[in-house]
Each structure stands twice: as C-alpha cells, then as structure tokens.
Structure 1
Amino acid sequence: MKHTVVVAESQTLFRDMITNFVEDMDEFRVIGKLTNGQEVIDFIQEKEIRPYLILLDIHMPVMNGLECAKKIKQLYPDIKVVLLSVFDDEESIETILSVSAEGYILKSSGLDEFKEILRFIVDGKFVAPQSLVKYFSHRLEALQKIERESSFHYIKETFNQHQDLNNRELQIIQLIKKGWTNRMIADQLGISEGTVKNYLSIIYKKLGIKSRVELLQLLTELIG
C-alpha cells in the first residue's frame, strides 16, 4: 500500500516538479496538489482525508508553510510534515525546528537526495540539510563548553591555587559565573541575601579584588 502525499507549493513549476518526483517513487501516491497552507487544512477537513505526508513550501500566500505545519501538528500530530525552502540561514533553521516538522528539504537538492530524504522520513528519522546539522553541532559544542566551564568541578580546578577558598565560596563563584544575582544565589543556597554579600566580601578579600566586576573580569581571564 502506497503512502498518501499532499504537495503544497505556490509556484506551479515547483509544484509539478515535486509532484513528479514523488510519484516517480513506488512508495508514494500524491492525492492533492495545493497552492497554500489554508488549502491544505481545508483539504484535510473537508475531504476527511489524513495524508501520510505533507510537503509544504515555507513561503506561500494566505497561510505559509510554517503556520500550516504548526496547525497540522496541533490538529493531526500523526501526519508527517516536511518543509521545503530555498533558504538555510540560521533564523530559518530555528523557526523550522519550532514547528516540529519531520524534515527540511532545500529546493536546491538533487533528485536522488530528495528521494532518499523522503525514504529516511518514512523510516522515522528527522532529516535536514548538512548546513543545519553543522549549525546545531556548533551550537551544542558552545553550550557544552559553557556548561563545563560553569560546573563546580571546573571552578574548583580553576581556583586550586587559592586553597583558602572553601566549598561554599567556590559555589558562590560558580553561580556568579552563571550570571546569577545575589537574590537568586540566596534562594538557591537557602541563605539570606545579606549572607551572600558577606561571602562575596570574603571572596573579594581572598582574591585581592574589590568588586563583582573585578571577579567577573578575573573569571574571564582564567576561563575565557
């Protein structure tokens, strides 16, 4: 049994081309060729047909692909949605991920790549351009670096030459590194805001500095 597909693309040339690509595959059968997102919603509701897969151009009139994808996922979460776009910039990528689509295909993709992506999606995989994968790989590395450098162990190792700093003082330095306010630190540690200020005064004295700004500068110099 073939998987049913709806193609939504505002430009006739691309719509026909994508439809031909899909119908050339044994696994799929196109049951609708539409021009905007609202037509997709109407098609599903009026005909009471739930296609297996919907291919949505992001840039369409009336209702664009992102709005349509979001609505489909709210109403029919089991329908697989793949977004089509000519853009692969960071803003587009993050917006696309926010609608929980199963895939993202660049219109510049070749025929073989296009077919392979659809087959991967049928297998339950999320598929995206290499540029997207690289982008989020770099983002993940940066977040992991921030998390590692804000850990208690890392802070303790960084200040290992200051043997007079106790664990509570190192913990406060750790939270300062994360950008927490005195009130946030107090709530986290179950102490008063005044006690936090007292600890900071002791920390400044032990490190030979005079203020929070100097502490942050010191952290920047030691950690980056």
Structure 2
Amino acid sequence: MSSDLLANALVRERGYEAVAIQADELLYSLSSSEVDLVVIGAEVNSKSGDAFELVETLSQAYPNANAVILLNQTSNESVIQAFRSGARGVFSRQQPMAEFLDCVEHVRKGFIWAGREQTNSLLQALKSIPAPNPFTAGTSPSLTARELEVVQYAAKGKTNKIIASELGLSEHTVKNYLFRAFEKLGVSSRVELLFYLTLKGHTFSASRIESVDETLVVE
C-alpha cells in the first residue's frame, strides 16, 4: 500500500482531505496547517529515519494530531513500541484496505486501534504479568547491574546479537542474563518484559527496528 493509494482511498471512500508527503516534510506541514491524524509508514532496515522516534516527536510537539504507524510486518514487540511512542493505532500492510479505513475512522474518533491478532497478543501478555503484591508495592526484584543493563537493551527492542556486540558479551551470556532477569521479574517473554517495565514507570528511548519510509497526513 503506497501513501498515494492510501490518501486516494481516504478521499474516495470517506470524503477526507488527505495528502501524501515525505517524512522530512511532516513537521513543517503540521506547523502551517491543522491536522487531525497522521499515518507514518515504516520499512524494515530503511535508512531514512525512525518511525517510532518521529511519532514520539509528533506526540510531544502536536498532541492533538493522532498518529497511526503502518508496518510492513508486525511483531508483538513492534506493536508495543508503537503504542509506547505515542501512536494510537497500528496497522499492517498485509491487512485489507477496508480495515485500514476502519483504523483511521476509529483513531480519528479518539479510540485505540490494532489488528485482531495483535490485540489478542497484547491482552494475553497483560494477563501473563504477575499481579502487584500489595505488601511489596513500590519495590522491585533485585537485578545485578549487568542484568539490568541487558534488560534495558532488550526493552529497546535490540536482539541478543546486537546486545552482545554492544556490551562485549557472547550471545550465550546475554541469553543467560535475560533468563535470570525474567525469572526474578516473573515474566516469560520480551513482550511481558516491556509491559512490566512500563507498569513500573520505566522509560526507554524508542527502538530502531522500524524506520520511516513514507508519511500520510489526514487533515
């Protein structure tokens, strides 16, 4: 789905005023006109920027402009990162156009939108997080300095290979640190880890797994 195709569909099917622009023109366009919603396209391994960081900048500078991130491929981690960066909707290019139109319609009305599969995964991850212990509220399991460092990298969406390279460790060692940290925190996956850290008030910069390819502005 190209940005021009999406913009034309919104004009034709919903009667919106829509225009496709490049990512580097987004903030300038927002400064000169009122925009209700922005759809930011992302491509894996693109060099043109970072979709998550752009959404984060957008949500801080223009809080009234709701954002949808359009991904080539969605994973549980990328969906969580998208919402944590400030997006109110996440859409996969593999989904049909009719669902994209529904996504835009819901987000423009102030709702949160994700595909059925992603929603089910997010709900399952939330259910898997241990309930807070009222007798230890405000406390966290004790992680070693290295375990915490590895967990922070994992929370940014980095793979074990990248973590190992940046920290000068082997992938096997990184895997062991994560395993011990997961046991202490009571989580079983990176998705649950992201939810746990978010609930505990931890903040991390957005991941660079996905990067900007195109931007659609809906006025």
Q: Same fold (TM over 0.5)?
A: yes
- The structure whose residues are more often helix, as a share, is 1
Aligned to 1:54: 38
Cα distance in 1, alignment partners of residues 142 and 39 from structure 2: 44
Aligned to 1:41: 27
Aligned to 2:78: 92
Which of 83, 88, 97 aligns to 1:111? It is 97
- Aligned residue for 2:122, secondary structure, equals helix
Cα distance in 1, alignment partners of residues 28 and 96 from structure 2: 31
- 1:25–1:138: structure 2 CA closer, same or farther, 3 Å change rule? same
Displacement of 1:49 in angstroms is 0.9
Displacement of 1:55 in angstroms is 0.9
- Aligned residue for 1:43, secondary structure, equals helix
- 1:180–1:70: structure 2 CA closer, same or farther, 3 Å change rule? closer
Cα distance in 2, alignment partners of residues 58 and 42 from structure 1: 19
Displacement of 1:61 in angstroms is 4.7
1:80 aligns with 2:66: yes
Displacement of 1:35 in angstroms is 2.3
Cα distance in 2, alignment partners of residues 141 and 14 from structure 1: 36
Displacement of 1:110 in angstroms is 1.0
Same amino acid, percent of matched pairs: 14
Displacement of 1:122 in angstroms is 2.2
If asked which structure has higher relative contact order (CA below 8 Å, sep 6+), I would say 2
Displacement of 1:87 in angstroms is 1.5
Cα distance in 1, alignment partners of residues 6 and 89 from structure 2: 15
- Aligned residue for 2:17, secondary structure, equals strand
Q: Which runs of 5+ in 2 are unaligned?
A: 144-219
Q: Show the 5 A alignment for 1:160-171.
A: none
How many pairs are equivalent? 140
Aligned to 1:7: none
Cα distance in 1, alignment partners of residues 53 and 29 from structure 2: 16
Displacement of 1:50 in angstroms is 2.4
Over aligned residue pairs, what C-alpha RMSD do you find? 2.7
Q: Is the 8 A contact 2:76 2:122 kept in 1?
A: no
Aligned to 2:5: 17
Aligned to 2:131: 147
Letter in 2 for 1:117: C
Cα distance in 1, alignment partners of residues 40 and 77 from structure 2: 18
Cα distance in 1, alignment partners of residues 94 and 51 from structure 2: 18
Letter in 2 for 1:147: A
Which of 26, 30, 33 aligns to 2:14? It is 26
Give the structure with higher Rg (CA): 1
Displacement of 1:117 in angstroms is 1.6
Aligned to 1:132: 118
